[in-house]
Amino acid sequence: MGRTKVIQHSFAGGILSPTAYGRVDIARYFNSVKDALNVTSHPHGGMFKRNGTKFIDTVSDGVLIKFSFNISQSYILVFQLNKIDIYFEDTKVATVTTTYTAQQCKELGYTQSADTLILTHKSHPPKTLVRGATHALWTLSNITFTNVPTYDFGNGAEPVWSATRGYPAVCTFYEARLWLAGTTQRPQSVFGSVTNDFYNFDLGTSLADEAIFDTLDTDQINPIVNIFPGRQLQVFTEGGEFSNTEKPITPEKSSWTRHTNYGSSELIKPEIIDGATLYMDRTGRNLREFIYSFSEDSFVSQSASTLAYDIINNPVDMTLLRGTSIDISNLIFLVNSDGTMAVFNTLRTEEVASWTRFNTNGQFISIEALYDDLYMLVKRGTAYYLEKMVDGVYLDSYKKYTSTTTTITGLEHLEGYEVQVFADGAVLENRTVSNGQITIERTADELYVGLGYNTVIDMLPLSPNLGGGSSVNKQKRVIKTTIRVYNTLGLKVNGEVIPDRYFGEDVLDTVSQPFTGIKEVWHLGYDRLLGFTMSNDTPTPFKILMAESEVNTK
């Protein structure tokens, strides 16, 4: 029998897939966890509870798209059946009528230049959404193109995109040209406008500034599903990943190279971070980094989710929240088709590559980052809500009140739900919303009412090394666990509440304050695959920095 300590200094490895539990031979095992629910990994090594979401408005099924003229004039657009609701500073300022179905909204290609958003869909003429002189003035119209390229489909030359032949599915701006691609009957063709004349596609005599009409030369006809302005102009098809190697691209010098053959998801728009273009491959299980490799002298597509593939499930939306001065994490959010969310924390310079997962009382439908803010379209019951993640509040779909009465109204969007109440720093009793209201036990200067969510960090089986190699499969008992926390309230270990205050040490009739320091927990019982779980189910902060276990091994 031997006794030793197992110390987990960092959780930067994130979730490790069950099929990798035997990999006690790799360093990743010792900074990973079995599960990480409703937390994000911090680049410094800890795991922090995710923020809650503020209720903004009731909407319908659709997709979120950002519109950013500058940092002070930014909007969230909610594309829904036959309309776009436009929000500025969390207030609806305009509604624009469209002819898109809810599903077509999710399939839109889009790109922005100044006050104009270009919209493409294979079943609709390309359109512009133009912001006017006020927040409330927006105009949606079909683009009037000059010199649409022609092609002989068998009955003489005709426009390459039209109501008959279909329209471009994707778009982007690159090197002062508007690029369109993925038409219904020319699915592998790419069209570049005249330089600085975005709606003119005059091929002319192939002068350097004239339009471009290219077709990818491949052995299969795999439609283009994304076009992206990375370090080079990049094209993603259902069967491979390409880039244009010319600088600048001109009609005479336009060369497309196929680098990898994984294929790309149609619904997920790529994002660029740390020099890599992140895209979802066609399996719907792998997020890949399309990045130039000097050793290969080519772009490669490295999987960023090999050891956590089981938390990614056919994503339908993705966004990037870049690191800020407050939080240096770069977070990729993937909305899964089952309504959960996979979250990737990446910071290449610190070798951080960590996956965690989110859920909510409902289903995540769409997500969009707007500078430092994160917006979500969430389905709860049969209703759809626009919500916004807010720092330091740990309730979903919440509303904030200053309460001079114990009757809290205006909760119609949570009718029938059991809600949690956080009042002046204290957790009150749960209540069930009836007729849009609840009654609480006292008034409060600052009151939050919303849906609670569980936070869980489930540790991997402990693998103490007693000098003869790993003991992960031996019978063992955790004698004591020491957990370092930061600004934390409501910690549970293996379901047991760890006291936030102690008789004789704390004033018992005051609100508990978040604790920073060490919590110790004593355990009983032997097991082979022994780990432990840290959790929180109250609307309070929860930040775990490290864990140390004293282990007895038979």
What's the pLDDT at 123? 97
Q: Indicate whether 176 pLDDT > 80.
A: yes
Give the mean model confidence (pLDDT) for residues 447-469. Answer: 85
Alpha-carbon dihedral 446, 427, 392, 89, rounded to 10 degrees? -50
Q: How far apart are CA 253 and CA 248, in angstroms?
A: 8
Q: Indicate whether 104 pLDDT > 90.
A: yes
To the nearest whole percent, how much of the chain has pLDDT over 70?
Answer: 94
Instruction: Look at 125-139, 177-191, 383-397, 491-505 and tell me which has the smallest mean pLDDT.
Output: 491-505
What's the pLDDT at 389? 97
DSSP three-state, residue 82: coil
Closest C-alpha to 223, from 179, 169, 177: 169
206-248 pLDDT, tens digit each: 999 999 999 998 888 899 999 999 989 999 999 999 999 999 9
276-296 pLDDT, tens digit each: 999 999 999 999 999 988 888
> How do strand 32-33 and strand 14-15 relate by DSSP bridges?
parallel
305-337 pLDDT, tens digit each: 988 889 999 999 999 998 765 667 789 999 999
In the chain, domain spans: 2-50+455-553, 145-266+268-312, 396-451
Q: Are 405 and 442 in contact (CB under 8 A)?
A: no
| Average confidence score pLDDT of the chain | 92
Give the mean model confidence (pLDDT) for residues 472-488. Answer: 83
